[in-house]
Structures are given as C-alpha cells and as structure tokens.
Amino acid sequence: MDFVTCTYESHSIAILEILNEVIMNSTALYDYEPRKIESMASWFSNKEKGNFPIIGIVDTNGLLMGFASYDTFRAWPAYKYSVEHSVYIHCEHRGKGIGKKLLEELIGIAKQQQYHTMIAGLDISNIGSRVLHEKLGFVHSGTINEAAFKFGRWLDLGFYQLILNTPLNPKDG
C-alpha cells in the first residue's frame, strides 16, 4: 500500500466509483443519486483552488483502495482555520486499516497547512467511522437529530472534531 496524491487524470473514475457505491449503499453520504463523471472536473478544480489535499492509498497494481480530503468548513472568513474532512474506502477494502492511515496522513497535512480544527460530519449510526475518529483523538461535539432523510428513515448527523496545535500565530482578517 502506497500513498498517492490523487489527480483528475489518474483517479477521477476510481473516486467516482467509490463515492457512488457509498451513495447507493450507505448513509455515509447524504446524497440520493449517483454522481456523473462530469462532476469530477469541478470537484478536483475546487480542491485545487482551495489548496486542499486529495490523498489516496493504492495497492501494488496502482488501484485506488480509498481516498481522503478536506475542504472549507464554513465560508465565512473567521472559519479560515477549520476544515471539514471526508474519508472513503472502496467496499472491498474496508476494515483493513486504510481509513486510519488516510486520516492520520490528512491530520499531518492539516497541521502543515496550519489549520486548527478538523471536523467530521458523520451519520451517527456509522459505528466504524465514529470508532475510527475517536481512536485518533476526535471528540463528539454535537449531534443534529433528524438532519436528513434517506432509505426511508431520519438520519442524525454527528459532528466530531480534533483540535490541532496549529497555527502558531493565528490572526484575524
């Protein structure tokens, strides 16, 4: 298993396949319809514009087993030191520690980029994701009950956060 920086050219189809499987079979993404390949160009472009990482882990054949990224938490300037992250693993590779490796790497990148808070919005029934985040020091910071409706039921959105020891000199403005 090797870390890679995901690119549109090399990984957009694999990322799309992972996302669409998650959309169709889980509550890890509160989407109803599979995304189209056309959506990936703007997804990658927005990450690039924000200088947000997209990291993946590939197998010995170069196939993407999972990926992680983060983006703006909220669009107001005072949130500039907070990011909301996502980690998605291909259905054939879950439970192998890939999510932990990706999230640890993402935490390191967030520190390098001088962020202060990493935030995860998790379906509260997703025990695996909750346990992963708690193992890495994330703390449950609140739940919005019945925030979404999917698969014929109401879903509760839990927020988990990790406070980083960065930036060294935060500034207003």
Could you report the per-residue pLDDT of 121-136, keeping only the tens digit for each? 999 999 999 999 999 9
For the cut 90, the answer to whether the pLDDT of residue 56 exceeds it is yes
Domain that holds residue 68: 2-163
- Using alpha carbons, list the distances in angstroms from residue 45 to 8, 13, 29, 55: 9, 15, 21, 15
Is 173 a domain residue?
A: no
The CATH number of residue 92's host domain is 3.40.630.30
Is 6 a domain residue?
A: yes
Note the pLDDT of residue 132.
97
Is 170 a domain residue?
A: no
Note the pLDDT of residue 158.
98
What is the residue whose two structure tokens read 């990790």? 162
Is 172 a domain residue?
A: no
Is 53 a domain residue?
A: yes
Is 171 a domain residue?
A: no
Q: What is the mean pLDDT of residues 5-29?
A: 97
How many domains does the chain contain in total?
1
For the cut 90, the answer to whether the pLDDT of residue 173 exceeds it is no
Q: What is the mean pLDDT of residues 27-36?
A: 97
Is 15 a domain residue?
A: yes
Q: What is the pTM of this model?
A: 0.95
For the cut 90, the answer to whether the pLDDT of residue 116 exceeds it is yes
d(C-alpha 64, C-alpha 80), whole Å: 30
- Using alpha carbons, list the distances in angstroms from residue 75 to 49, 79, 116, 144: 14, 7, 16, 20
Note the pLDDT of residue 8.
96
Q: Cα torsion for 110, 43, 50, 138, to the nearest 10°?
A: -20
Is 168 a domain residue?
A: no
Confidence class for position 14, pLDDT limits 50, 70, 90: very high
